[in-house]
A = this chain, B = another copy of it.
Amino acid sequence: VSSIDDIRTSASRGDVGPATARGPLDRHRILTEAVAFVDEFSLQQLTMRRLGQRLGVEAMSLYRYVDGREDLLDGMVEHVLAGLDADPHLRLLPTDGWQAFLQRLAHGVREVALAHPKVFPLVATRHPAAPWLRPPLRSLDLVEAFLEGLVDRGFDDEAAVEAYRAFSSFLLGHLLLEVSAHGAGTAPAEEPLADVTGAGDSGDADEAADAAGANEQLAGHPNLQRLERLLSQDRSLAEFEVSLESLLQRLELTLG
């Protein structure tokens, strides 16, 4: 049942977003609109046909610019991260320590993730071009800048690579959780617990259970029950800062 609701949102009723009819197509415009579409609706709803519709064109036209759907998804990932490659502000600056550099880089990636929460799972899970290109730092330029920055500030090769690994794990884990919580709605504390009185008409008990959602079995979990408010608070920025700070301190130790 729920998967049907999912499909019947506005995107499937032809309301497909801005059908701007400027000039001939090009890859950049396709990627921009694809990202905008996903931002507005969801990954699931993005199809070649609907994207064509949004661009005022038949789906087949897209194949001149993208090599099928997989290439479209790869292109979208590249597209949302492109700003990071370009931004000189995310380079090692003359006045920087490596900590300041990593701080800016981390927050830069975080901004991209928050700007496109529904695209970020793609950034996280698409197979990278090389096994050592670790999401979310998915471009050669970005990784090169990272390594150069650290080596420039006294890291030897091993330490720089270890820092790269630890930094990417940290970013990926944190940001993926942050965007996924974003999608799930922010205030389950407002949701009344298991309203067993069933307020309505329904034939079977399933509906009440559904409404209670994850709270259904919360009864058998005293700690969850007691900590629900605490768990529901959005601490993502503070958590990010604290974990990042802790990572930087750990890296500092390996510098010996």
Residues on A facing B (Cβ under 8 Å): 1-4, 6, 67-71, 121, 124-125, 127-135, 140-141, 143-144, 147-148, 151, 157-158, 160-162, 164-166, 168-174, 176-177, 180-181, 183-186, 188, 213-215, 217-218, 220-224, 226-228, 230-232, 235, 239, 243, 246, 250
Given A157-B227, A224-B140, A232-B132, also A169-B180 (CB < 8 A): no
Tell me the nearest residue of chain B to A149, going by C-beta.
Answer: B223
In the complex, the count of this chain's copies comes to 2
Contacts of A172 in B (CB 8 A): 172-173, 176-177
Contacts of A173 in B (CB 8 A): 168-174, 176
Q: Is the interface of A mostly helix, strand, loop or mixed?
A: helix
Shortest A44–chain B CB gap in Å is 9
- A-B pairs with the 4 shortest C-beta distances? A173-B173, A130-B214, A132-B231, A129-B214
Tell me the nearest residue of chain B to A247, going by C-beta.
Answer: B246
Tell me the nearest residue of chain B to A230, going by C-beta.
Answer: B161
- Given pairs A3-B69, A129-B214, A173-B174, 8 additional interface contacts (CB within 8 A): A1-B68, A2-B68, A135-B177, A151-B223, A162-B235, A165-B235, A170-B170, A172-B172
Tell me the nearest residue of chain B to A151, going by C-beta.
Answer: B223
